[in-house]
Amino acid sequence: MSAAPWYAQSPYGIRFEWGPAGAERIRQGCACVVVVDVLSFTTAVTVVVEAGTRVFPYAWRDETAATFAKDKGARLAVGRKAVSEESPWSLSPAALRRAPTADRLVLPSPNGSSISAAAASAGATVVAGSLRNARATGRWLSANGFGSPERPVAVIASGERWSDGSLRPALEDLLGAGAVIAALADAGREGLSPEAFNAHASFRTTADVTSAVADCASGRELIAYGFAEDVAVATEVDGSGTVPVLTDEGFVAAT
């Protein structure tokens, strides 16, 4: 699908969009796509990649995911509530910290994971960004020449989904994307699209990011279901120096 230049946010070097449909339109012409899914795909990716695991994104947790994991020689993450001694890996960052380190892991997610896989298939460099590694991500992008009109970067807030499958913009992803964009700006990159500028401003003007994420709809949902620890891990702002880059279908730490 070809995007009109206004939807692609040309000619800005740093661009911002929402969800799978936005990512599909804006990634064309971008050298790099940073996927942000704070609660919890990209946060989970940072946790396991910094432990040495290669993470394969996959859109759905269904029978095809098991086949995909088998083909990759990887463990398959289960739902948060399905964690067991036999299957200790899930989308929960806290559970992943407690689980044995897997060499290879398939981590299904209908939002961040599906966006990552689709962007990689289109030929862009794909990075997993979050509040945990925003500063490291911005520095890595700048050091590798991304974020200029010649090598644009698209920062995607994955968002969540309503029951009908439509996009639910999520505050935690807006703040995570804004944090990455702020780090790019701090690294000397200019040329923010208006969309990117306002995501950046949302992060800069939020006095207490941790409290905002914990008290937004997604944070309150996870806490109500007993996963407050996941929210705590996700709000370890700049607690990680790991930058996961999608290489040969799996996320590994950038060198």
Report the CATH number at residue 83. Answer: 3.90.1560.10
Tell which wins on pLDDT, 233 or 61: 233
Q: What is the pLDDT of residue 72?
A: 97
pLDDT tens digits, residue range 70-99? 999 999 999 999 999 999 999 999 999 999
Measure the CA–CA gap between 122 and 118, rounded to whole angstroms: 7
The reply to whether 8 falls in a domain is no
pLDDT tens digits, residue range 162-184? 999 999 999 999 999 999 999 99
The reply to whether 9 falls in a domain is no
Q: What is the pLDDT of residue 63?
A: 87
- How many domains does the chain fold into? 1
pTM for this model (two decimals): 0.96
The reply to whether 7 falls in a domain is no
- The domain in which residue 54 lies consists of 14-253
The reply to whether 3 falls in a domain is no
The reply to whether 6 falls in a domain is no
**Average per-residue pLDDT for the chain:** 95
Q: What is the pLDDT of residue 138?
A: 98
